[in-house]
Chain A
């Protein structure tokens, strides 16, 4: 799993644990990421964990998935205990902007 992205990791587990198929699981996670101002290509494991804990339960509830909090808590715990690849290439725009002035 070390080479998997945080996005693929969450989608895979969501597909295994719920009645959502691959396309539905990926679409649901993408919507949750969009609501958080993130995208699948650049989300880090730490950011993904926050999205899984705070936004994904609501998205699953909207799709009538049973026990969304239970699934999300389990997936967030797996995320925390798994070494995943950091997505994206190079520094993020906010990391660069943080450096350009005193904070």
Chain B
């Protein structure tokens, strides 16, 4: 079961690393902010931050100062990633909306506050005083917001598709991103519950297969959204043409 969890979690990390890097390179070419934000979110949060913090907490035999440095760095990457992901959703859908400004500011302030509090407490080897017990709130808000907005927008684009006012591939991309984000949100929430119950998801008989399935599922949806094979795109177009 642990192997399944490692495969699912590993697939998700690898896909986020690849897609994040690709989007960061794209932003270097286009000089546009959206690809920089979503790329940083995927690369830093899921691709680098979580694995680094897992290494800091779980790899045996590390010197305390190495463990603390890795834990601090991983947490910093997660913080930057979650703020970037939230800013991406804000920029994409709600850049003119008052409550959205407040939500983005709230996520940023809470994340920075938790990071500062953990740094003052000097407990980065585990990060268990302030940061890891509460940072999942910001991640859940960020992913939950992303899921709701993308699912809503997918619904709008499906209606436009019937009038040939939307691209079927782009419409499908909103669906894939919404589902991939939802699976990530569920993983984060379940992982948070395990944390509070003092259980290790990776080795738990229920947590391990759940992590494997959720991680692999999210990886597949993100891969199809951002690195789609031509055969998949052709299928999406054919299905849309058949429905017109």
Contact = CB atoms under 8 A, between A and B. Distances in A.
A65 interface: no
B160 A99 contact: no
Given A89-B96, A100-B35, A54 B173 contact: no
Interface in A59-103: 89-91, 93-94, 96-103
Given A96-B34, A99-B30, A99-B35, A50 B163 contact: yes
B158 A101 contact: no
A94 B163 contact: no
Interface string A15-55: 00000000000000000000111100000000100110011
B147 interface: no
A51 B159 CA distance: 11
The range of chain B's interface size is 20 to 34
Contacts of A99: 26, 30, 32, 34-35
Most central of B23, B165, B225 by chain A CB within 10 Å = B165
Given A37-B158, A102-B228, A93 B93 contact: yes
B24 to A, nearest CB: 12
B95 interface: yes
Interface in B116-169: 153, 155-160, 163-167, 169
Contacts of B160: 36-38, 47
Given A38-B156, A96-B34, A55 B163 contact: yes
| Prevailing SS type, chain B contact patch | helix
Nearest to A43: B165
B32 A36 contact: no
B233 interface: yes
Contacts of A91: 34
Contact of B173 (A51, A55, A100): A100
B109 interface: no
B96 A103 contact: no
Contacts of B233: 102-103
Contacts of B227: 101-102
B95 A90 contact: yes
Residue of A54, A94, A99 with most partner-chain B CB within 10 A: A94
Interface string B59-93: 00000000000000000000000000000000011
Contacts of B26: 99-100
7 contacts: A47-B165, A93-B174, A94-B166, A96-B35, A97-B173, A100-B226, A103-B170
**6 residue pairs, one from A and one from B, having the closest CB atoms:** A37-B159, A37-B156, A37-B160, A96-B34, A103-B169, A101-B226
